[in-house]
Amino acid sequence: MATAELLKPFALSALAGEQRSFPTGRPALLCFVKEDCPTCDMVMPLIETAHRAFGGAVDVLAIGQERTGNAALVERHRLSVPMLDDSALKTSFDYAIEIVPTIILAAADGRQSTRFEGFYRPDWQKLFDDLARLGGGAAPRVDWSAYPELRPGCGSKSVEPGIAERLQAEAEGSPLRARRIEVADQDDIFEFMFDQGLTDGLPVVPPTPERVLRMLGGTRRDAQEIIGACPPNYAPLTIEKIAINAVMAGCKPEYLPVVIAAAEVICTPEFCTHGITATTYGATPIIVVNGPVRKKIGMNMGINVLGQGNRANATIGRAIKLIVRNVGGGRPGEVERATFGSPSKYTCCFAEWEERSPWEPLHVERGFKKEDSVVTLFGLESGPHQIADQTSRTARALAGSLGLGVECSWHPKTHNFGDILLVISPEHADTIGHDHWSKEDVRRQIQKITSRPLRELLPTDDFGGLGALPDQAQVRTRSEAELNQLIPKFHSTKCIHMVVAGGPAGKFSAVFGGWASGEYGSVPTSRKIEEL
């Protein structure tokens, strides 16, 4: 169909590396193709014939939509026609390519004279006649009977779901690239999101473009920056995708830097989000926030600190769990294999009450400055166990009680164990601080109180045992000295992590028990929060 449309200029790299531009100053034949389209494959010999026959008068350019596919087409058909790389699909979008092959014949000034899609034999025969007139010679002989009368083309990659939205956003200057899902006017948006499997079992906030853009206002980082591969399925995780899930979780924009920092941790190999998600034991990311950001965004570090009621605590933790679900693919019954799970799998995020602690806060202990805002993630049991001690008046006695309370972690008979997180209440912290005990003093007392002779840890007819310990058949080979050897509960004092948080009244503390640690499990990991 002839038109007088002036086509948009472009510059693309050819397969050999050189740049080719349009308009060229001569008539040009633009052929948009992709390798996995059978119709494109069928017409490549015709495009090569046109280049060989008319290349002296007309610039024939093949414009391929797949970088590796372009090379495959060139090799398969032994092409000499220039193959230009439009794998970014910007030119395909600018030219509104919906079907490949699309063939456009343009005049020397870039005005379109002919355009058609797919393969219709009369279109191609007329095209060769037009090229012959432009070239001032006869059309080459083509056995048109070897070609069908009609064969439809294939969908252009530029209109595929996800890609089309990205290209439209780029054209509009929007930072949003995620695929948009159309919801019918009569559909209930909340029920729709349940049906699509986008929720954690509770309603989520619909992530409209307006809400996502507002959320992105909470960070200076580029919306399309990929911060890593999100386990368990290792999908690329962009700032935009983090913002989308933060909207769904109910976050405010000022929470986004905390969510981003936590999301960076879940993408690290050492944190082992894949294992935390896939284990049947029911571990989950436990998030602790330190530094000025706690007060800036109104996090709870006091009464009911591990419970409901605070928007920042609840939604930051929930956003991370939604990211693992919606981006990483960690869905219950699929990769998520927890035998029981826990409410903490919905959300588990809180701030340390640094001002009520007799010790340096967690992030300083881990090498950061006090004025830094930092998020630390632990891969631990998904529910805290509370430890009550209302009678101890010395640090020694209280630390001993805490030791007895944490001995049940994983299994009371499992010793030489990995990481736990102790949440010390302010009243308990006061008791310990009154005697000027350091964190290391508390840890050593816990190790002392929980150390047991090897013989007590071996399974019997009355109870089992877990861990890297000998079974009864091996006992006969052990000396009395070996059987009496004391085995501490934890691999080292460094495995006992401690923070202060909770209400000002109540002689209780809590522990998040361990999962697998070190190279065989999850390593507690911290990230500095990049605030606005």
DSSP 492-526: -GGGEEEEE-S-SS-SEEEEE----BGGGSB--EE
How does strand 28-33 pair with strand 59-64? parallel
Is the same domain home to 152 and 208?
no
In a domain, 466, yes or no: no
Contact assessment for residue 42 and residue 147, using Cβ atoms and an 8 Å cutoff: yes
Could you give the CA distance from residue 199 to residue 240 in angstroms, rounded to a whole number? 18
Q: What is the mean pLDDT of residues 236-254?
A: 97
181: amino acid identity, one letter: I
Share above pLDDT 70 across residues of the chain, in percent, rounded to a whole number? 97
Is the same domain home to 150 and 293?
no
Averaged pLDDT score across all residues of the chain: 93
pLDDT for 164: 84
Q: What is the mean pLDDT of residues 260-277?
A: 97
Is the same domain home to 484 and 423?
yes
pLDDT for 2: 43
In a domain, 171, yes or no: no
Could you give the CA distance from residue 105 to residue 27 in angstroms, rounded to a whole number? 7
Q: Which helix (H) or strand (E) holds 226?
A: strand 226-230
Place of tokens 């109910």: 250
Is the same domain home to 435 and 296?
yes
CA 284 to chain centre: 16
Is the same domain home to 211 and 351?
yes
Is the same domain home to 447 and 523?
yes
Q: Which helix (H) or strand (E) holds 12?
A: strand 10-13
The CA angle 86-90-91, to the nearest 5 degrees, is 70
pLDDT for 477: 67
Could you give the CA distance from residue 245 to residue 173 in angstroms, rounded to a whole number? 22
Could you give the CA distance from residue 289 to residue 301 in angstroms, rounded to a whole number? 9
DSSP assignment letter at 200: S
Could you give the CA distance from residue 163 to residue 158 in angstroms, rounded to a whole number? 6
Is the same domain home to 304 and 426?
yes
pLDDT for 475: 57
pLDDT for 467: 52
- At residue 1 the predicted structure's pLDDT band, cuts being 50, 70 and 90, is very low
DSSP assignment letter at 409: S
Residue 179 has pLDDT above 90, yes or no: no
The residue from 110, 132, 157 where one domain ends is 157
In a domain, 186, yes or no: no
Angstrom distances, CA of residue 231 to CA of 72, 170, 300, 369 = 32, 28, 29, 30
In a domain, 286, yes or no: yes
Could you give the CA distance from residue 274 to residue 522 in angstroms, rounded to a whole number? 10
In a domain, 185, yes or no: no
The residue from 157, 173, 207 where one domain ends is 157
Q: 125 burial class (0-12, 13-18, 19+ CB within 10 angstroms)?
A: middle
pLDDT for 290: 98
- At residue 294 the predicted structure's pLDDT band, cuts being 50, 70 and 90, is very high
Could you give the CA distance from residue 130 to residue 123 in angstroms, rounded to a whole number? 11
In a domain, 5, yes or no: no
pLDDT for 97: 97
Q: Which residues sit opposite 15 in a β-bridge? A: none
Place of tokens 């089992």: 464
Q: What is the mean pLDDT of residues 142-155?
A: 96
Is the same domain home to 199 and 114?
no
Q: How many domains does the chain have?
A: 2
Q: Which residues sit opposite 377 in a β-bridge? A: 287, 525
Angstrom distances, CA of residue 23 to CA of 11, 12, 31, 100, 235 = 9, 12, 14, 21, 39
255: amino acid identity, one letter: Y
Share above pLDDT 90 across residues of the chain, in percent, rounded to a whole number? 82
In a domain, 493, yes or no: yes
In a domain, 115, yes or no: yes
Residue 317 has pLDDT above 50, yes or no: yes
Is the same domain home to 145 and 66?
yes
pLDDT for 465: 64
Contact assessment for residue 287 and residue 317, using Cβ atoms and an 8 Å cutoff: yes
Q: In sequence order, what E strands does 291-356 have?
A: 349-351
Residue 281's closest CA among 393, 179, 155, 411?
Answer: 411
Residue 71 has pLDDT above 80, yes or no: yes
Residue 268: left (phi > 0), alpha (psi -120 to 50), or beta? beta
Question: Quick one: tokens of 520?
Answer: 């065989």
Q: What is the mean pLDDT of residues 336-357?
A: 96
Residue 502 has pLDDT above 50, yes or no: yes
478: amino acid identity, one letter: R
Is the same domain home to 75 and 138?
yes
What residues make up the domain containing 379? 191-458+479-528
Residue 24 has pLDDT above 70, yes or no: yes
Could you give the CA distance from residue 453 to residue 6 in angstroms, rounded to a whole number? 87
Residue 240 has pLDDT above 80, yes or no: yes
**Cβ-based neighbours of 317, under 8 Å, separated by 6 or more:** 285, 287, 346, 347, 348, 349
Q: Strand, coil or helix: what is 482?
A: helix
pLDDT digits (tens, 9 = 90+) for 83-108: 999 999 999 999 999 999 999 999 99
Residue 283 has pLDDT above 70, yes or no: yes
Residue 73's closest CA among 94, 45, 97, 110?
Answer: 45
pLDDT for 468: 47
Question: Quick one: tokens of 139?
Answer: 């059309």
Is the same domain home to 144 and 227?
no
Residue 163 has pLDDT above 90, yes or no: no
- Full-model pTM: 0.74
Contact assessment for residue 366 and residue 272, using Cβ atoms and an 8 Å cutoff: no
Higher-pLDDT residue of 464, 412: 412
370: amino acid identity, one letter: K
Could you give the CA distance from residue 329 to residue 336 in angstroms, rounded to a whole number? 9
Could you give the CA distance from residue 277 to residue 382 in angstroms, rounded to a whole number? 11
239-249 and 209-216 helices, crossing angle to 10°: 110
Is the same domain home to 145 and 277?
no
Higher-pLDDT residue of 467, 173: 173
The CA angle 126-129-131, to the nearest 5 degrees, is 110
C-alpha torsion sign, points 45, 46, 52, 56:
negative
How does strand 28-33 pair with strand 102-106? antiparallel
Question: Quick one: tokens of 84?
Answer: 């230009």
pLDDT for 493: 97
